[in-house]
Chains A and B, each alone.
Chain A
Amino acid sequence: MAVVDIRRRTGYLFLAVIVGHVILISTQVTTRRGVPMLEEAVFGVFSEVQRVANSVASGVRSSWQDYFALQQVRAENEQLKQQLADLRVRLQQERGLAEQSQSLQKLLELKTTSALTTTAANVIAGGASPEFRTITIDKGTRDGLHADMAVIAPAGVVGRVIQPSGRASKVQLLIDRSAAAGALIERTRAQGVVIGTGADELRMDYVSGSADVKAGDIVVTSGIDGIYPKGFVIGQIQSVRRGGGEYSAILIRPAVDFNSLEAVLIVTTPPPAGDATGTAGAGQDHE
């Protein structure tokens, strides 16, 4: 009966809900420390729901494919795709190592570089809200993952782990509005910061207006943010607009197709200490 009475007082109820939300928001905005408990708990519980939903969806899809496809040909195709993905990752690692050694030779220094260790994970869910570009993967702290680990795909950089739970992790895609990474243009070595736009393209900021940059140039990670390993492909420059300002306006087409991600690799080796210097904010939320 009491519930009925409250429901009749629509105005008060509306006000109470609004005030409740405002309090909830303000506590988070002022503290800004760690992950909120509610977020952690809801994510922990719902990641299991996402896992089940993904299993059902994958099961249905797999059955559908199995019914129509020739088993042997499909298995062989999967194997070849896997091999190709491995080779593309290795190619990127080699490219990074080659660039690194070239720079080191120029400086007449000798350093030993260690190969990256990665762990594979499946994408089990997309973003819950269209305004945030995130995905959920099926590996978490139990698999040795923690926040700020780089996430890559055979084609290039995907993003970083922002919230690991026991058996799943939330990954912020590089195209998210709050995402950023230290980057350089492969051909000219001009440095800048790549920032997500929320759409399927990236922006490169802080590149001098006088720097030699043109459409078609490949943009790779610089490693200076301490999150993304050096030399991994971010994308290709789509357009360069030189205004009257100090910096050029550069748009990048990402190398990774974020809409069809199914499996990713998480870099479990932290980038070499020498790379992680300067640029506060790169690779992290830039808000």
Chain B
Amino acid sequence: MYARELGGQPLTLEASGALYKDALVMYDRETQTLWTQIDGSGMRGPLAGRKLKPIPAVQTTWGEWKRQHPETLVLRKPEKILNSPYANYALDPHTFGISGRQQPDARLPGKALVVGLREGEDALAIPLEKLRKKPLLETTLAGEPILVVYDPVRNTARVFRSQVGGQVLKFSLAGRGKEKQLLLKDREGNRWEAASGKAIEGPQAGAALEPVPYLVSYWWAWVAYSPRTRLGP
């Protein structure tokens, strides 16, 4: 949060759509100067070299903030009663101009992280939040069975095809092995390393599950590229 008045002139700030050193860059509509969000310094343009004064702000929850400040005001949002973390902004009047879309996809908060998968015409996003609660997910992509497994210790997700040699395997978690490797087992008596997809024990020992390309992305970025994405699990 920054004071946006410089030398008596209030600036109107907006996202410039650019990143600099991994940080969001703003610009002001008055002079088109670019400002980094990290420290509020002007990087390019008429006000380059100037600095916006940071203002301490608190990041907390609505419940907590209300307790601390019972008389608080709150920014009005599009009218919809929210009773779940994943609000439905069906009537959001604010446009979201990425890829020409006029309506944001409100199935998830924009900065929710998702495991994004795409094959052919099919796109599937699985919230990381859901994987943290249930780290093994068997689903399909473009009609083919796949396995999504999340390792909270390593904070990584892996996605594989569940079909091996014409047979669709059913998996479950099998604890951890050497070096805390997350292990899976199937109903055929095989044990698999989740990280590599390799069978380390059983009739399929030595075989490997075929990895499926995936990305971990912010929901809003995923939707920008795959507007018709399905949302799992």
Question: Do the two shown chains form a genuine complex with each other?
Answer: no
B residues apposed to A, CB below 8 Å = none
